[in-house]
Amino acid sequence: MSFFLGPIRTFFDLRKEAKRRMIIYWHAPNSDARLKSLAEGIDDVEIYKWDEGRLQLEDIGAQIASFDRSEFLVGWVLRRIGFDLAEAGRAFRDMAMSLGTTEEDRDRNFSRADKALKFRIDRSKVFYSP
């Protein structure tokens, strides 16, 4: 029984951590703030914040994608009930690659991750907000 329930618990822990990071990085400075900082002479602490954010988002995306590929039976069950772990992994990698850049589409990437991990999205809101 724990052969199956342990990985299920691991998935829901990953899902919770993914949402936590989404909430943190939803409010990260955007490319306009980054360009302004560069013009004013950005310090190492600010660069570290963007780099750290990218690393954390990339890490959770890699954990979700590797879980999907390594836990075959549990991954199959999760796909059957509507979770899309492969898409969630891609969404987090896209978030990581574009965080703080001029090509960033934070709303689209975060919405993709929410949909893939079956988080409720309030369609009555004018814009995405985790």
The C-alpha atoms of residue 24 and residue 54 are separated, in whole angstroms, by: 12
Query: Mean of the pLDDT values across residues 16-23?
Result: 93
Domain ranges of the chain: 2-116
Q: Does residue 74 surpass a pLDDT of 90? A: yes
| pTM for this predicted structure | 0.81
Residue 51: C-alpha distances to residues 26, 47, 54, 107 (Å): 15, 6, 5, 20
Q: Does residue 44 surpass a pLDDT of 60? A: no
